[in-house]
Amino acid sequence: MKGIAVSKGVAIGKAYLLDRSKFCILKQKLEDHEVENEIQRFRDAIAKTKLQMIDIKNRAEKIADKYAVILDTYTLLLDDDILVNDTIENIRKNHTNAEWTLNQTLQNFLNLFDNINDDYLKGKKDDLDLLVQAILRNLIGHSQETLSDLQEPVIIVTHSLSPSDTLSMPRNFIKGLATETGGKTSHVGIFAAALGIPAVTGIKNLTSQINSGDNVVVDGIDGEVIVHPNDEKSQYFLKKQENYRRYEERLLANIHQSAETLDGHQIHLLANIESNQEARTLRKFGAEGVGLYRTEFLYMAASSLPGERELYENFKAVAQEMGKRPVVIRTLDIGMDKQLAGIPTDDEDNPALGLRGIRLSLAKPELFLSQLKGILRASLYGNVKILYPMITSVSEITQANELLQKAKDQLKEDQIPFDENIEIGAMIETPAATLCIDHILEHVDFVSIGTNDLIQYLLAIDRVNENVAHLYQPFHPAVIRALKQVFDAAKKANKKVSICGELGGDPMATMLLLGLGEIDDLSMEPHSIPKVKKIIRLIRLEEARQMADHVLNLSSVEEISQFIAKEMRTRFPDDFDRDLSFQEKIIPA
């Protein structure tokens, strides 16, 4: 059964089927005199759920900062005007019971998520659903089966896992996780990765195909769950399990070495983060700074728009944690299709091409100014840089810089210090930006290529639309030529260039990227850094250029993908050749 690999590793053991079927919610009509009591019953359930979430968060902080941050979002959603107030308003308006009304509000929320063109935010859909289920349990007075009484190591198989589920698990008895819902950005994925538990999510009809006690393999490397493996397959996965363990040990042993090619070309490997808490954990992966601080989380998790001071405190914490290391803060990259506290949403037919990124910031100058002032104030405490998202023209940079100057003037008037020479960068993630790159470079200090959106826009592909997602191809000739064009223009202009999309953290693409141009930085999810660093330290830049020259002469995705895969698996069999690395061959300790 195929799913999403959210936490690497291989788990082999007995399945424990955890029943997490949803409640049957019945609609009940209320008499006039019952309405206010029903609203109070709902408020009591919210208050009880909030206390439960605070307790869970306090325990979560002992596991991982990033996991605790997710639980902050849960608590904030319990204060959210739409979730809570809409439910209360509809209880009054429709005279319906709290359970039914809350469930209807949830469905409206989930429909909004279906229209969001963003993988990360789509991954939060399941978390919202789980939160509402927790409220419903408190409304109904229904207690659920817990995992705290497990007596032997098992693989948890379930529809979904709540935060209380994950925190009640006795860690020494959890070999692996397999769920029908969730993704890499859900709390399950982050929890499993933080504890090194192999996990696969998003498997349809999983619970109908497995019973408690079944022999199961969770392959968190290739995203598979195997039921009742025969002796041959069992041996196969035992070898894969041992090889991956040894492989990870070797990767982490070298994290503090520089990412320098054999012929002396150094690349700085930075981390993508979304909260100040994450910054504390970067050094253990060997990150040399923050290449992309996604600020959207600060807005999406808030019950009211974060002000200048709140933003400043968050940015300052990251700057102080990083010291002299760079901290690139991307201004708000969000569209009007996403709910922002205090700002009405628009029902855009195509939000990916709508009022998002820098367009939204320029349309909402006060919103933009508060963020710019927060960044400027934090710049006093480290090597902070500003990155404008979704740039399509020089005029957008000019307008943004005018507002930046206004922010500087206001701070000076208030006698608040900041870095006068803060660097400004532009995200290159649209075809327009690649075609106008020479003009854009004249107005910024650096550029950062956002490959996720660039690929989507270049190929006219909605990567979250299952009907065309297979056409999202990072090794498409158009993508590679666009990257080459940006690299060459940056070199000619003597400006720094980095990559901060998923491609930058893909070890299969590392050698090609280095060969296409003189990259200064690669920014990626922290856990990707050790493997990318290993690749860089084992290649010569001249060899990478030869690879890139050959790829530029190929005309199809198939040719390019096959050539790169063959080259990388030949050069790095322990990293890319499945038959050699994790399955057939036992790597010496």
Catalytic residues: 187, 500
Could you tell me which of 368, 304, 303, 307 has the C-alpha nearest to residue 334?
A: 368
Give the Cα separation of 494 and 353 in Å (integer). Answer: 31
What's the half-sphere exposure (Cβ side, CA atoms, 13 Å) at 190?
24
Question: Do 125 and 113 meet the contact criterion of CB atoms below 8 Å apart?
Answer: yes
- What 3-state DSSP class applies to 589? coil
Residue with tokens 């299709």: 337
Please state whether beta strands 4-7 and 199-201 pair in parallel, antiparallel, or not at all (unpaired): antiparallel
Query: H or E element: which one contains 448?
Result: strand 446-449
| SS3 per-residue string spanning 288-334 | CCEEEEECHHHHHCCCCCCCHHHHHHHHHHHHHHHCCCEEEEECCCC
Residue of 203, 119, 112, 115 whose CA lies nearest to 156:
203
φ/ψ of 335, rounded to 5, equals: -110, 170
Residue (of 469, 475, 447, 466) closest to 556 by Cα position: 475
If one counts every other C-beta atom within 10 angstroms of the C-beta of residue 145, the result is 9
Backbone angles phi, psi at 269, to 5 degrees: -100, 115
Count other Cβ atoms within 10 Å, centred on residue 353: 12
Helices 507-516 and 541-552 cross at an angle (nearest 10°) of: 90
Alpha-carbon dihedral angle through residues 232, 233, 236, 237, given to the nearest 10 degrees = -150
